[in-house]
Chains A and B, each alone.
Chain A
Amino acid sequence: MDATVTPLRIALVGVPNCGKTALFNRLTGSRQKVANYPGVTVERREGERATPDGRGMRVLDLPGTYSLNPTTLDEAITRDVLLGRLADTPSPELVVCVVDAVHLPIGLRLALEVKRLGLPMVLALNRMDVARRRRVHIDVAKLSAELGVPVVPTIAVKRGGADALVEIVEGGRWVAPRAFAAALQEHGAEDAEQMQRDLRGLLGASGYSPPRENPWFGRIDALLLHPVAGLAILLAVLFVMFQAVFSWAEAPMNWIEVAMNSLGAFTAAHLPAGPLASLLVNGVIGGAGSVLVFLPQIVILFFFILALEDSGYLPRAAYLLDRLMGSVGLSGRAFIPLLSSHACAIPGIMATRTIPNWRDRLTTIMIAPLMTCSARLPVYGLLIAALIPARAIGPFNLQGLVLFTLYAAGIVSALLVAFVMKQFARDRQYSPLMLELPDFQWPNASNLLLGLWERVKIFLSRVGGIILALMVVLWFLSSYPEPPPGASGPPIQYSLAGRLGAMLEYVFAPIGFNWQIAIALVPGLAAREVAVAALGTVYAMSAAGDDLSAALEPVIASSWSLATGASLLAWYVFAPQCLSTLAVVKRETNSWKYPLIMAGYLFALAYLASFITFRVVRAWA
């Protein structure tokens, strides 16, 4: 074993929906590195795999593309990696071209294009099980001979389904195809025709026969793509999804809350009263715990999004909504990023890379934070429980209706902002829809679990890292300096945080916020859900609280007016203060201009909405 030898660099290339990511999971298992927040295969995913010779391999899952003639940022990245144009990613030593055997022609066409680059290549003929079931005939040996590269059947979703591929790669039984110039030629019309002829020749030589149509797919599509029934089903799916986020999550959320409370009580009982106990109970357990409670909701939301993605439904939703979204200047393709933004704006914004047109993409990025992300749930949940009576209105619950209104307010204002942006757009470049509606399939359990695990890891590291650190800082700021002897008010008023809050109160008084809220909004800049933890800490610093969210609710119910609560809810519909979102926008747009515009317009809208809400509710109540 030679430690100085670097692992073999392998890149997976394929058209979208060819099972490339499943094959990547099969090859690398959980040994994957996804650069911070993942979208859906839009992020740079790299994984490692040990090999018997000790060298190992490093597998890069490139974004799916139909052609090396890119129309989206995603596709451009794939091309640039293959050509070695990306500074931090050397071009691969071996390309594994993943081709869906069921849809051989479209994948094989890309393979022909990749082969022209002259990189060593192996062709993985994936989904062979489905292809066999649908009576697709392919003479693998002939295809391999004709193409001049090894061709290996794989079944990425089956255990051991990639063994043959691994054997070929490990055995080094691949050579560079007869080398063409490693330069990408312009995709002229004659060139394209030549490619079509080559493709037809290959298909003929390998005795390819197309798949038998599955009559069920046609029937399901007739229903799902129906202008009326299809939209009704889409609404029902979304309704069930958001309903599940609340009802299924209730029990596990209670467990976490109880566990955190008893942990806090245990700590308080076994430590001498003093700064350390206060830090651990109020800062660490109270602060991080009140955010950890939302883990079940995030898991459920991502479960639905991943399952819908895997089943092939999401592009159909984009088809249904394309016209509606087009009327405010959005593409149907914006649906998937915007849906993901309901979990968190960050993966949502990263998923906009699949939108080919810059203007469309920018609009989608700008409105993504208006979707009600899961970080707002803690705030909404707390305020609704504290201020809105659980009265029944017809078949509905008033609390549920308020929550629904807040979600709807986010979506409606997003559409309005998109519409306004459309009026200001100078270049009206046409941006195509051209979206593949893939075959339906049952979501694969292991892929689903792997995807969920990835999200849970990210969430937990956020709680453990940034949120925890902030809560400790906030605890410190609201504890020191200590009140002078003989002071009458609660100690926090004399602390740094209390003074900061008093200053901010001038700004926020017109919209009904008290100094406690003003303080809580500051750490909320790092992550919105921190505001709840911060309110908890701020109020707990006067009382000796060991159960923050439970104690917070009655405190708010008794000390806040309805107008103040409603105003804070309105503020959170726009919730401009999320630094990580702004950082991602900066990275994705490669400019400070757009994050600044975003923060500016969100602050303005939040202030305006809160101002109006506060005045109206106060006059009316």
Chain B
Amino acid sequence: MKSDASLPVEGTGRQFALAQLRRGQVATVSGLVESAAIDSGRDASQSLVTRLRDLGFVPGARCEVVARMWLGGDPIAVRIGGSTFALRRAEAAAVRVEISASHARDAVAHAGSSAVPA
């Protein structure tokens, strides 16, 4: 999907895939992309993106990873808009997040080498 036109143009924070957040880290959704981790065609990842948006993963929404399973963190539990959702790593890969300025120190402390610039 093309980059979302309604993206907040802060441009300050670095962008991550949601699955890369550590437990307890708070971030802001910056956009949804079709996840490359879902290999079963465009339709599947398109409908995934649509559903994520319906669940409230929209640009500007604040989210927090509240639990991660096992070492690889699959699945994860994400708190957003007052609800909690269980997402697999592949699903969370569709959500791009930005660490907001107030949480930037957290990000540096936790993200380490796994941070991928957008």
Contact = CB atoms under 8 A, between A and B. Distances in A.
A and B pair up: yes
Contact of B67 (A69, A193, A222, A315): A222
B114 interface: no
A180 to B, nearest CB: 19
Given A227-B70, A319-B77, A429-B44, A67 B86 contact: no
Contact of A106 (B48, B55, B91): B55
Interface in A424-466: 427-430, 432-438
Given A225-B66, A432-B91, A319 B86 contact: yes
B51 A109 contact: no
A428 B51 contact: no
A557 to B, nearest CB: 48
Contact of A218 (B66, B74, B88): B66
Contacts of A495: none
Contacts of A436: 55, 83-86
A320 interface: yes
B47 A103 contact: no
Contact of B48 (A103, A211, A222, A432): A432
Interface string B1-38: 10000100000000000000000000000000000001
Q: Classify chain B's interface size.
A: 35 or more
B51 to A, nearest CB: 6
Contacts of B69: 225, 227, 319-320, 322-323
A222 to B, nearest CB: 7
A105 interface: yes
A221 B84 contact: yes
A303 interface: no
A435 B81 CA distance: 15
B113 interface: no
A102 interface: yes
A433 to B, nearest CB: 5
Interface residues of A, number: 42
A583 interface: no
A332 B74 CA distance: 12
Contacts of B40: 427-430
Contacts of B45: 430
B58 to A, nearest CB: 6
A436 B75 CA distance: 13
A56 interface: no
Given A318-B86, A433-B87, 12 more contacts: A69-B54, A221-B66, A222-B66, A319-B75, A319-B86, A332-B75, A429-B40, A429-B41, A434-B51, A434-B88, A437-B86, A438-B84
26 contacts: A66-B55, A69-B47, A71-B47, A106-B81, A189-B1, A196-B58, A210-B81, A213-B82, A225-B77, A227-B68, A227-B69, A315-B86, A318-B86, A322-B74, A323-B70, A430-B45, A430-B90, A432-B51, A432-B91, A433-B86, A433-B88, A435-B85, A435-B86, A436-B83, A436-B84, A437-B86
